[in-house]
Structure 1
Amino acid sequence: MQNLKTLLCSAFGLTANRSYRVLKETRGSPDCDMCCCLFIQTLIHLLKGNIGTGLLGLPLAVKNAGLVLGPVSLLCMGIVAIHCMRLLVKCSNRLSERVNRPFLSYGEAVFTGMENVSWLRRLAPWGRWMVNLFLIITQLGFCCVYFVFLSDNIKQVVEAANATTWDCQVDHANQTALAGTSFDSRIYMLFFLPAFILLVFTPNLKYMAPLSLLANLVMCCSLVLIYYYSLTNIELPINLPLVGKAKDYPLFFGMAIFAFEGIGVVLPLENKMQKPEGFGRVLYTGMGVVTFLYISLGTVGYLCFGDTIAGSITLNLPNCWMYQIVKLLYSFGIFITFALQFYVPAEILIPPVVDRVSGHRRRIAVGLLMRALLVIFTCCLAVLIPELDLVISLVGSVSSSFLALIFPPLLEMLTFHTDGLSPLVITKNVIISGVGLIGFATGTYSAIMELIIRNNPPHSHNLSPSYMLQ
């Protein structure tokens, strides 16, 4: 099995330079222009690793929490998420020094941290296994979200094509009016399945680099247009609840932590820096931008569409060609990004199976078969849970809460327990991990219960707008 850091570096277009920290003392001071270039490159990769479909679901998350409580909660969650990312980097650096290694992945850091405590040493392999398990769940969960996102958005574009015009007048009652025969969104998922399978057959992600760059550009353009429409179509006066219902707040937590779960790319990015000690500046700058985007789009999206907001704000855009093209462009970006999200779990799960097969051709065939089966598995999960907001909330609650909130504070206590942590630091870590556990339990329960309610036929007339738009 390849090192997780190498996989993540490849997935995000990074170079796996394991020996840099060993060699940096002999290479001399890097040129300032090179430092600036690497700073910008690392910053872009950090933004790329945190901005995706989760951003588009935040207006609905703000609705679940309330117009005031939602943005305030996003700000608090952003601060805590950044703090946990910084904790992970600090712990990895300290542990790598202890074991005399240039780099430790997330799982290796947890493994080494548990070995650092005598009574946990025997359980250390389980710690690494748990981190990799939640990483796989998270990445495959992203893939499920992409299936649902593409099916919902392409369904709207295709089925409203005959009624689509260049007139972008606002109709808050029904932003995209479907015309003609309407097919279930699951049909569209099955339609995309062969395309996704062929996409993940790409032998090396370097061949995806041009398409990945194009995908990033079109997604940025789409976001600009979404911001423009939302800001210019806010209706006054605003009569939206400042605080949402208590029963909906766990759904907010799941969607928000799903959006903030970019902690898996932090260690590979930090190791790529020519001056790793300067990664804090990249982290605070990048995550500051991310937090601003999350709060601003979540707030203006909810202000614009109110109670009709869907699981993705793109589903609320008007039935005109300019914004239908926005859906197509963002869908293209998400389609290409699928290969990047799929890469990590595939390279963790497939090699152990391929190694059991003899013969070059058989190994290739088994590898392709396993990739196809993994894509089919994610498609089946998406078919079972076709509600975009619930998929996001469920994935966020189940796995992202562990990776982003629960593990990093615990790892700090394992790493520095011999240094005499202050009671304040211990209390802080226990509170953060406790909040993560509560969010995991309540968010998972609420998402599952809401899924049961929405799929209960006697109550089908009470379905929420985010479901009806699918």
Structure 2
Amino acid sequence: MEDKGSETLPLIKSSSSSSARGTASVAQTFGNIIVSIVGTGVLGLPFAFRIAGWLAGSIGLLVAGVFTYYCMLLLVQCREKLASERESAETATYGDLGYKSMGPAGGYLTESLIFLSQFGGSVAYLVFIGQNLESVFKGHGFSMASFIFLLVPIEIPLSWIGPLSAFAPFSILADICNVLAMAMVLKEDIQQVVRRGFSFDGRKAITSNIGGIPFAGGMAVFCFEGFGMTLALEASMKKKGTFPKVLALAFSAIALLYLMFGIFGYLAYGDETRDIITLNLPQNWTATAVQVGLCLGLVFTFPMMLRPMNEIVEGKLKRCAWFWKPYHNNDDGSITALGKLGIYISRAVLIMGLAIIASFIPGFGVFSSLVGSTVCALISFVLPASFHLKLLGPSLNFWQKSLDILIVFFGLLFGAYSTYNTIVGVSA
């Protein structure tokens, strides 16, 4: 099938090959893209705009969005290349592409980065919950770390629940709370802007602190990151040739939403903008209800975030000789009671490790930017461009190769500088 979307994307060559047919419509895929990308990270964007300036923040956000979109299409093209070689059944995931592109080392690197990105995102969510609950119950003697550790005995039993379908009601609750929180934040922001008069006076366009720009870039990458779902979303479509256009439309809508949040949030509160914008909301029952509801939804969907990490850890355990014998029943190959206990312990240890690390994080904004500019930048830019060069190098023209090389180079440079910038506290 001809990919008409490629007509407007001269650097992306479409493949006529297709894998197993999906069933998702354009509207369903559009919605799935929005849900898989937009999360609580958006509530940290006004702080990023405060650090970088509203103009620099806007430009950085749009640049991150454009390159994330382009690199997502590179991943799809890489899979199509392997599908044309009749290897599609073996290359269904991002990790599989790493293995096919660079061998076992590439597969291990990709799997490790996916684990680290999920780990970082999970820590950021715990910090988000802790900071919001500390704000709501201010004056009761509980610190952010206290609330994080109070979550541990709740999250451990939840992580032992098997079917993901059990979390569906809580996922819906989290989505509702996200929408309400975003709507309320925008409402309060706009009211604040109207009260002070719509003006950029007193608001920096570009920060005088050069470290603020990569800080905002890291936050933008963190907000756009959704590579774990890219191949699955494309494969689920009934008309796969429309995926580039649907993805472009979804990214345009997301970028508009992000710009509104960043600009209006910064205009509303200026230098008082907190690293989570809900902390700037007036202390009334409506704001409190939104914050508590947002945290409650995240508490019950947090185990879903752990699932990819649990699968990686448990997959490694099952391949260990010392674990294999107690894990399997020799008669029918089923999981033994001792094997289940080992799995439960590994999940509990992971959650305790996440909580301990989260308790030392100074704030949601700084940590999210660090995760975005390191592992998310590698997953979002460096790896897709590297896979593209490796798998399609001989068929690429000069400009395509040059762009891939530039993406790899600047992705590595961005990650290295942003890490240094965050560690030395320039963005604090």
TM bucket normalised to smaller: 0.7 to 0.9
Render the CA deviation track for 1:15-36: whole Å, top value 9, x for unaligned. Answer: xxxxxx6664xxxxx9xxx76x
Q: Residue 424 of structure 2: SS of its match in structure 1?
A: helix
Matched, 1:111 2:74: no
1:57-111 superposed Cα distances (whole Å, 9 cap, x missing partner): 1111112211111111111111111111111111111122224324431121122
List gaps (5 residues or longer) in structure 1.
1-20, 25-29, 115-123, 160-179, 455-463, 465-470
1:295 maps to which of 259, 282, 295: 259
Comparing 76-85 with 344-353, greater Cα deviation is found at 344-353
2:385 aligned residue: 409
SS of 2:109's partner is: helix
SS at match of 2:88: coil
Partner of residue 358, structure 2: 382
Q: Which amino acid in the other structure matches residue 402 of structure 1?
A: L
Name the residue aligned to 2:88.
Answer: 101
State the match for 1:156 in structure 2. Answer: 135
How far off is 1:381 after superposition?
A: 1.1
Q: Secondary structure at the match of 1:369?
A: helix
Aligned equivalent of 1:51, options 38, 42, 49: 38
1:8 aligned partner: none
Alignment partner of 2:299 out of 313, 317, 335? 335
Question: What SS does the aligned partner of 1:233 have?
Answer: helix
Give 2:67's aligned residue: 80
CA separation in 1, counterparts of 2:133 and 2:364?
14
Query: Counterparts of 1:116-195 in structure 2 under 5 Å?
Result: 124-159=103-138, 180-195=139-154
Which of 223, 248, 262 pairs up with 2:226? 262
1:41 corresponds in structure 2 to: 28
Give, in whole Å, the separation in 1 of the partners of 2:144 and 2:152. 13
The letter for the 1-side match of 2:370 is L
Superposed, 1:452-463 pairs within 5 Å as none
Preserved CA contact (<8 Å) 1:106 1:131: yes
The equivalent residue for 1:241 is 204
Please state how far the C-alpha of 1:340 moved relative to its aligned partner.
Answer: 1.9
2:399 aligned with 1:399, yes or no? no
2:177 counterpart letter in structure 1:
V
Which residue identity does 1:221 align to in structure 2? L
Q: Deviations over 1:294-342 (max 9, x none)?
A: 1110111111111111111111111111111111122123223312211
CA shift digits 1:236-278 (9 cap, x unpaired): 3431111012022222222111111111110111111122222
Which segment drifts farther, 240-249 or 326-335?
326-335
Q: TM-score, normalised by structure 1?
A: 0.80
Match of 2:400 among 425, 447, 450: 425
Q: How many residues align?
A: 394
Deviation, 1:392, is 0.6
Which SS does the other structure have where 2:303 is aligned?
helix
Answer yes or no: is the 8 Å Cα contact 1:218–1:329 preserved in 2.
yes
Q: 431, 443, 449: which one pairs with 2:418?
A: 443
Shift of 1:181: 4.3
Question: Partner amino acid for 1:139?
Answer: Q
State how 1:339-378 maps to structure 2 within 5 Å.
339-354=303-318, 356=324, 357-358=326-327, 359=329, 360-378=336-354
- Identity over aligned residues, as a percent? 26
- Gaps of at least 5 residues in structure 2 are 1-17, 330-335
Q: Is the 8 A contact 1:254 1:394 kept in 2?
A: yes
Root-mean-square deviation (CA, aligned residues, Å) is 2.0
The letter of the residue matching 1:428 is L
Letter in 1 for 2:136: V
Deviations 1:358-395 (A, max 9, x none): 35111111111100101111111111224211211121
Deviations 1:89-137 (A, max 9, x none): 11111122224324431121122223xxxxxxxxx11111111111100
* Alignment-derived partner of residue 61 in structure 1: 48
> Shift of the alpha carbon at 1:183?
3.0
TM-score by length of 2: 0.87
